[in-house]
């Protein structure tokens, strides 16, 4: 098949571009620790220290290590406010009690879908103190625009 | 006249068939656009919905907007347009014109069922129809009938192709018929997901025959069809850009073999990419998400090939019209012709849409934009600009060709497509900007208590763009209706079939066969989807619809 030399060059450049993009993705996900959810991780029904997986809670596992069990339902998150000290690493477990919902913590790398029957899991570290907006970004009925929460990352001194 | 252009006349019955399909499609687009205006204004703080008849909530408007624009308008237009292109290309009627009419009635009944459910606020589930949001059964049955209609045209096209093969052994498949066949073969394979989802899960569930469905499984089936469907919208536009636009610009098709190859590549590459809509879903493994990223990127290649060939074909046109120098040919293109300019501006915006699509498909970057307004910012450039403008521009020649009535007002058509491009630019820019600031999509943002001040400026752009778009849309429909009523005869309007450059040489055999591409597509689907679907089917997590109606 006859291919014009310019067109051949164009295709080669396109392929090369894609490879560059591919490498950028691999680098960003490995070196910057950006996580997306994978196969569902379920919690034990009740942990040794008495936290039941079908209830909302935030608990401390150790210094700077937290776990949050979050429920999305029409039209609120439970807990609606999550407080952790700056520098904490938090693992979120996300459940839905009814429909699909979204869980995006603005200005952070946490974003995942809440799907009934599945448990989402992501881990992130929050170094910048401040108040972060959590929005439900999947349509979940007439009250969808009222569904939000807050993540409050406190100055380390405040928790001493 | 070009050597390979034909004087073949399609029968009046097939002309009427194409016309009713296209007009039914446009009727849905009109309503869809009016909903768009309500949404755009709501986002900038002007909520007109409470004072509207019929429309009860923002989300009802949004459901109508999505379903009418991208499921009903597109399906009707494409079945009408490509059915006609195929039969014109083959220079023979469809294998069964009667089946063509049956297809129309099946799709019309389906569309009316869906329309009713949406307008009655019984199907405010948005076009993605995610379970366990549960709509009235008429909504699902209606959409299923529309899909059945598209498959009936596939059947008709394949039978026409086989009949043509017997009549003309050894000939190359004519370009227009080839484009139509590839589009429908790809869609036939892609539609399996949505057919399974509706027939085995959503319809029985909405009828009360089964109590529960698995939201992740049905969502996965949806996106198995839901991404390729965008190529079902796009390929008819590509058909026009490759095979018609060069002639409309006074040029020739630069590289016929590569044009055919690009089309064929869409069969396998369109199919296993749907997980890029599910990157943030728990319950789908990261490995398969990564595979779908790679495959989504692969589709960049035929798109880049298209950009090259189409621009080179246009350059031939500009130079044939006396253009000189590196870029002088651009100014010689027929910019005063709305058929040309509508498509050219659509292509320009499509380039931006393609770039934003690469961002969405990028595994990690997707995290930033997922379900924000950035996403509608992306697809209003691809489907809302490139596809819709190409279909509008096509109707400027096709409606006169089908009806014998002249386009009512050519300068108005030109102003209208330019306005549409301007409106889309404003609106998409506003959406992408708000999205990057975190503003969620599918949300009644004017009423959101958490709305951030930084979103105001971009959302005003959305509203302003929406108003410009709506004006452009109304001008289009004015021109369309007055063309249909026009007493001035159109004269002989040809199908502007482009002639390929002879330099491209003979075509390799594999560009005239569909089977290898179909088989490789099926294999890619098995690899990309098989294990995940199998696991989800064997470990179903079903739930019922919420006791309280969410909408
Ligand atoms: C007057 C022209 C239009 C305006 C003002 C407009 C406006 C909008 C707005 C503001 C949204 C975002 C709503 C939200 O996420 O809450 C939206 C969504 C959408 N638009 Fe348009 N649009 C127009 C034309 C079109 C056209 C021509 C198409 C396609 C053929 C289209 C397809 C869509 C789709 C598929 C959605 C997403 C619906 C969903 O999320 O369920 N729009 N439109
Ligand atoms: Cu929600
Ligand atoms: Cu997609």
Q: Vertex B449, ends B444 and B455: CA angle to 5°?
A: 70
Active site residues of B: 227, 231, 378-380, 441-442
In short, whether B118's Cβ falls inside 6 Å of ligand 1 is no
Total count of domains within chain B: 1
Q: Within a domain: residue B431?
A: yes
Q: Is the pLDDT of residue B47 over 90?
A: yes
pLDDT per residue over A80-108, tens digit each? 999 999 999 999 999 999 999 999 999 99
Q: What is the mean pLDDT of residues B498-507?
A: 79
Q: Mind giving me the DSSP string for B380-400?
A: IIIIIIIIHHHHHHHHHHHHH
Same domain, A55 and A15: no
Return all residues near B273 (Cβ < 8 A) that are at least 6 apart. B227, B228, B292, B295, B296, B299, B361, B528
Return all residues near B409 (Cβ < 8 A) that are at least 6 apart. B479, B482
pLDDT score of B521 = 95
Q: Within a domain: residue B271?
A: yes
From the list A76, A77, A73, A113, the residue with the least C-alpha distance to A96 is A73
Are the C-beta atoms of B116 and B145 separated by less than 8 Å? no
Look at residue A83 and give its three-state secondary structure. Answer: strand
Q: What is the mean pLDDT of residues B415-434?
A: 98
Higher pLDDT among residues B186 and A157, named by residue: B186
Q: Within a domain: residue B507?
A: no
From the list B387, B359, B225, B206, the residue with the least C-alpha distance to B297 is B359
Range of the domain at A17: 1-34
Q: Within a domain: residue B2?
A: no
Q: Within a domain: residue B307?
A: yes
pTM listed for this prediction: 0.96
Total count of domains within chain A: 2
Distance B231 CA to ligand 3 centre (A): 9
Q: Is the pLDDT of residue B513 over 80?
A: yes
Q: Is the pLDDT of residue A157 over 70?
A: no
pLDDT score of A45 = 87
Same domain, A89 and A118: yes
Q: Within a domain: residue B508?
A: no
Are the C-beta atoms of B376 and B458 separated by less than 8 Å? no
In short, whether B384's Cβ falls inside 6 Å of ligand 1 is yes
Q: Whose C-alpha lies nearest to ligand 1, atom 34?
A: B66
Q: Is the pLDDT of residue B3 over 70?
A: no
Q: Which of the ligands is closest to the CA of residue A99?
A: 2
Residue B14 to residue B101: CA distance in whole angstroms: 9
pLDDT score of B6 = 61
Same domain, A142 and A108: yes
Q: At what angle do helices B286-298 and B300-320 cross, to 10 degrees?
A: 10
Residue A46 to residue A59: CA distance in whole angstroms: 13
CATH code: domain of residue B292? 1.20.210.10
Same domain, A56 and A99: yes
- Residue B213 region by backbone torsions, left for phi larger than 0, else alpha for psi between -120 and 50, else beta: beta
pLDDT per residue over B369-392, tens digit each? 999 999 999 999 999 999 999 999
Same domain, A29 and A74: no
Share of chain B above pLDDT 90, in %: 88
pLDDT score of B2 = 41
Q: What is the mean pLDDT of residues B499-515?
A: 82
From the list B47, B202, B195, the residue with the least C-alpha distance to B125 is B202
Same domain, A3 and A21: yes
Q: Which of the ligands is closest to the CA of residue A94?
A: 2
Q: Whose C-alpha lies nearest to ligand 1, atom 3?
A: B36
Q: What is the mean pLDDT of residues B340-352?
A: 96
- Mean pLDDT over each residue of chain A, to the nearest integer: 91
Same domain, A92 and A151: yes
Residue indicated by tokens 């194409």: B18
From the list B93, B100, B237, the residue with the least C-alpha distance to B161 is B93
From the list B233, B404, B417, B252, the residue with the least C-alpha distance to B339 is B417
Same domain, A4 and A59: no
Same domain, A87 and A131: yes
In short, whether B410's Cβ falls inside 6 Å of ligand 1 is no
Q: Mind giving me the DSSP string for B411-471?
A: HHHHHHHHHHHHHHHHHHHHHHHHHHTT-BSSS-GGG-TT--GGGHHHHHHHHHHHHHHHH
Higher pLDDT among residues B8 and B102, named by residue: B102
**Considering only A63-67, B37-41, B505-509, which range has the smallest mean pLDDT?**
B505-509
Look at residue A128 and give its three-state secondary structure. Answer: coil
Residue B352 to residue B307: CA distance in whole angstroms: 12
**Number of Cβ pairs < 8 A linking chain A and chain B:** 195
pLDDT score of A7 = 87
Same domain, A18 and A87: no
Same domain, A114 and A69: yes
Same domain, A19 and A98: no
Q: Is the pLDDT of residue B334 over 80?
A: yes
Range of the domain at B302: 12-502+516-544
- Please list every residue in chain B whose beta carbon sits closer than 8 Å to the beta carbon of residue A133: 438, 450, 452
For chain B, what is the radius of gyration of the CA atoms? 23
The one-character DSSP state at A48 is: T
pLDDT score of B76 = 98
Q: Which two tokens stand for residue A120?
A: 């989402």
Of all residues in chain B, the one with the smallest CA distance to A94 is B282
Q: Is the pLDDT of residue A147 over 60?
A: yes
Q: How confident is the model at residue A1 (pLDDT cuts 50, 70, 90)?
A: confident
Residue B370 to residue A138: CA distance in whole angstroms: 10
pLDDT score of B501 = 87
pLDDT per residue over A32-43, tens digit each? 778 888 887 788
Cβ distance A25 to B362 less than 8 Å, yes or no, reads yes
Residue B229 to residue B270: CA distance in whole angstroms: 9
In short, whether B40's Cβ falls inside 6 Å of ligand 1 is yes
pLDDT score of B538 = 95
- Mean pLDDT over each residue of chain B, to the nearest integer: 95
Q: How confident is the model at residue B363 (pLDDT cuts 50, 70, 90)?
A: confident
What value of ipTM does the predicted structure carry?
A: 0.94
Q: Whose C-alpha lies nearest to ligand 1, atom 7?
A: B36
Residue B99 to residue B152: CA distance in whole angstroms: 8
Q: What number of residues does chain A have?
A: 160
pLDDT score of B504 = 63
From the list B124, B130, B24, the residue with the least C-alpha distance to B79 is B24
Residue B396 to residue B412: CA distance in whole angstroms: 11
Distance B227 CA to ligand 3 centre (A): 4
Residue B533 to residue B500: CA distance in whole angstroms: 43
Q: Which two tokens stand for residue B10?
A: 């399609």
Q: What is the mean pLDDT of residues B410-438?
A: 97
């Amino acid at each position: 098949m006859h291919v014009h030399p310019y067109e051949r060059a164009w295709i080669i450049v396109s392929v090369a571009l894609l490879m560059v993009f591919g490498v950028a993705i691999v680098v960003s996900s490995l070196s910057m620790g950006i996580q997306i959810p994978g196969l569902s991780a379920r919690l034990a029904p009740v942990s040794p220290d008495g936290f039941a997986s079908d209830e909302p809670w935030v608990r401390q596992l150790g210094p700077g290590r937290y776990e949050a069990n979050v429920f999305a339902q029409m039209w609120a998150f439970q807990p609606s406010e999550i407080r952790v000290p700056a520098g904490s690493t938090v693992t979120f477990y996300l459940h839905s009690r009814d429909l699909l919902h979204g869980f995006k913590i603005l200005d952070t790398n946490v974003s995942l879908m809440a799907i009934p029957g599945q448990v989402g899991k992501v881990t992130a570290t929050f170094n910048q103190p401040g108040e972060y907006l959590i929005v439900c970004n999947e349509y979940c009925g007439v009250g969808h625009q009222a569904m939000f929460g807050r993540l409050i990352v406190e100055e380390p001194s405040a928790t001493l | 006249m070009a050597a390979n252009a034909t004087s073949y006349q399609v029968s009046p019955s097939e002309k009427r068939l194409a016309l009713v399909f296209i007009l039914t499609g446009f009727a849905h687009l009109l309503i869809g656009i009016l909903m768009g205006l309500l949404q755009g204004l709501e986002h900038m703080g002007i909520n007109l919905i409470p004072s509207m008849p019929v429309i009860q909530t923002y989300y009802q408007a949004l459901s109508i907007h999505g379903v009418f624009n991208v499921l009903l308008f597109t399906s009707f237009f494409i079945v009408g347009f490509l059915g006609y292109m195929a039969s014109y290309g083959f220079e023979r009627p469809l294998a069964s014109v009667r089946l063509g009419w049956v297809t129309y009635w099946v799709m019309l009944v389906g569309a009316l069922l869906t329309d009713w459910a949406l307008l009655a606020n019984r199907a405010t589930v948005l076009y993605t129809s995610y379970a366990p949001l549960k709509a009235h059964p008429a909504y699902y049955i209606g959409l299923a009938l529309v899909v059945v209609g598209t498959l009936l045209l596939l059947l008709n096209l394949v039978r026409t192709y086989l009949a043509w093969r017997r009549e003309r052994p050894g000939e190359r498949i004519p370009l227009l018929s080839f484009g139509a066949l590839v589009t429908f073969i790809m869609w036939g394979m892609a539609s399996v997901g949505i057919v399974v989802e509706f027939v085995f899960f959503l319809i029985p569930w909405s009828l009360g025959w089964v109590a529960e469905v698995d939201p992740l499984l049905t969502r996965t089936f949806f996106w198995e069809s839901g991404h390729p469907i965008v190529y079902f919208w796009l390929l008819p536009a590509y058909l026009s850009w490759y095979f018609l636009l060069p002639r409309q610009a006074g040029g020739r098709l630069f590289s016929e073999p590569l044009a055919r190859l690009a089309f064929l590549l869409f069969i396998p590459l369109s199919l296993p990419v749907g997980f890029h809509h599910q990157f943030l879903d728990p319950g789908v493994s990261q490995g398969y998400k990564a595979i779908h990223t790679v495959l989504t990127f692969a589709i960049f290649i035929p798109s880049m090939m298209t950009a090259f060939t189409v621009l080179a074909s246009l350059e031939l046109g500009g130079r044939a019209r006396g253009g000189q120098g590196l870029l002088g040919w651009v100014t010689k293109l027929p910019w005063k012709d709305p058929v040309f300019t509508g498509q050219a501006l659509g292509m320009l915006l499509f380039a931006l849409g393609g770039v934003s699509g690469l961002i969405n498909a990028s595994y990690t970057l997707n995290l930033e934009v997922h379900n924000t307004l950035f996403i509608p910012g992306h697809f209003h450039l691809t489907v809302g600009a490139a596809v819709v403008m190409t279909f509008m521009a096509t109707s400027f020649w096709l409606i006169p060709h089908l009806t014998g009535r002249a386009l009512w007002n050519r300068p108005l058509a030109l102003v209208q497509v330019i306005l549409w491009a301007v409106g889309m630019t404003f609106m998409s820019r506003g959406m992408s900007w708000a999205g990057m600031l975190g503003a969620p999509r599918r949300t009644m943002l004017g009423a959101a208590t958490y709305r951030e001040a930084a979103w105001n400026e971009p959302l005003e752009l959305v509203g302003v763009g929406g108003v410009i778009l709506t004006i452009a849309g109304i001008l289009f429909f004015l021109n369309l209706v007055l063309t249909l009523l026009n007493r001035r005869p159109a004269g002989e309007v040809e199908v502007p079939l482009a002639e390929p450059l002879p330099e491209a040489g003979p075509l390799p055999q594999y560009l005239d066969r569909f089977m290898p591409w179909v088989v490789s597509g099926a294999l890619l689907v098995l690899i990309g989807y098989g294990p995940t679907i199998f696991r989800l089917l064997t470990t179903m997590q079903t739930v019922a619809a919420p006791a309280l109606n969410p909408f």
